[in-house]
Amino acid sequence: MVVEDGLASNGPHVRLLKELDMGFVLGAKPGDHKALFAWVDELESAPRSPGSKPGVERWETTDADGVEHRFRWSNGAPLNDSHPDLEVNFLEYWERRPNGGKRHFSWVTALDYAARMAFRSKRTVANSMSTAVTPARRPPATIPVTAFVDWAAQMHNTDARGKVPVLERARRALAQTARLIRRALSNDHGPFQVSFRLYHGWHRGWERTDHLKAAQAIENEGFAALTSPRVSFSPEVQYGHTLISALPERQHRNPPIHLPNTLREQSRGQPPTEKMVDTAMAADLLSWARFRPQEWALVLSEDDDLVPPLFTAEAWVKHSGGRALLVRKRGPSQYTKLDGLLRQST
């Protein structure tokens, strides 16, 4: 069960918890979820046929100490306007004490329960769920790991160059990347479930490059051969042309991505160059640290431009049990303190 404060009740984080089939109770403040509260209010005020179950239910009780407890709840509510497809269960609670003291809490949750079941003896739901204002710190039994992969660097670091067909180059690069990840995690307690996010100049204008076509082709071949007893790989690969936290209105319709034209022509006679690739990886790394602080991240890149966001991500996840690590061939530099962060590949 994941119990977190209101900072966690956002679309990307809720979607991840649902994908991992994890129960959750997340704080949801009215000011941060205006659309959600408006939906509940409208549903409660909507007319209904005689004998039908109300869409929003209420329950009130007064305990032996004279404390009044009021509950309101509804199931299947859309989380927000940006993620209307994410349905959550909504619970709101008010408390009023004889001395005039008042408290008000609200949550979104995957639990399906009635307030009567949640109200136990002399302790209120607000007390029993008071940890909702403190981020959960215990990681799940299987540790989720997001691998932020500089695909061009991995292609360069393998023997997947020269006249090898692009599809075979991609296969070799992926197999080598999986080996590096297994080696980087070999001395840590697992097990681990790794999800790939691959970054490259995936589009020339609007058109997919041959490298993107090859990566998507090997994605369809499956990752069973890459898996070890302690490290498994998610069958779904994500690509850096779609950012983790960008607004939906920033996404193009066709192709449905945020960042086209990441491979651009230079002057005549010069090879094309990548644009927005490193910054996309940096942005996604910080989004990951912001919304998934209990998880692990591996940054597979030889570029020092990823060190500053890595330092920031490390600080953000430190107190929630997460880890952010750098995997690269080069050793430490005298100018950057990478102690405890660097997993050097050979």
Give the model's pLDDT for residue 325: 96
Query: Has this prediction a pTM greater than 0.95?
Result: no
Give the model's pLDDT for residue 114: 47
Q: What b/e string do you get for 140-152 counting C-beta neighbours within 10 Å, with b at 16 or more?
A: eeebbbbbbbbbb
Segment-wise mean pLDDT, segments of 10 residues, the chain, 346 residues: 85 88 89 91 80 78 88 90 88 90 91 54 43 45 91 82 82 92 89 94 96 90 79 90 91 93 87 94 95 92 94 92 92 89 83
Give the model's pLDDT for residue 346: 67
Give the model's pLDDT for residue 243: 94
What domains lie within the chain, and their CATH numbers?
2-133 (no CATH), 143-344 (3.40.50)
Give the model's pLDDT for residue 128: 44
Give the model's pLDDT for residue 117: 46
Give the model's pLDDT for residue 251: 92
Say if residues 294 and 136 touch (Cβ distance below 8 Å): yes
The phi, psi pair for 182, rounded to 5°, reads -60, -40
Which has the closest alpha carbon to 115: 128, 131, 102, 133?
Answer: 128
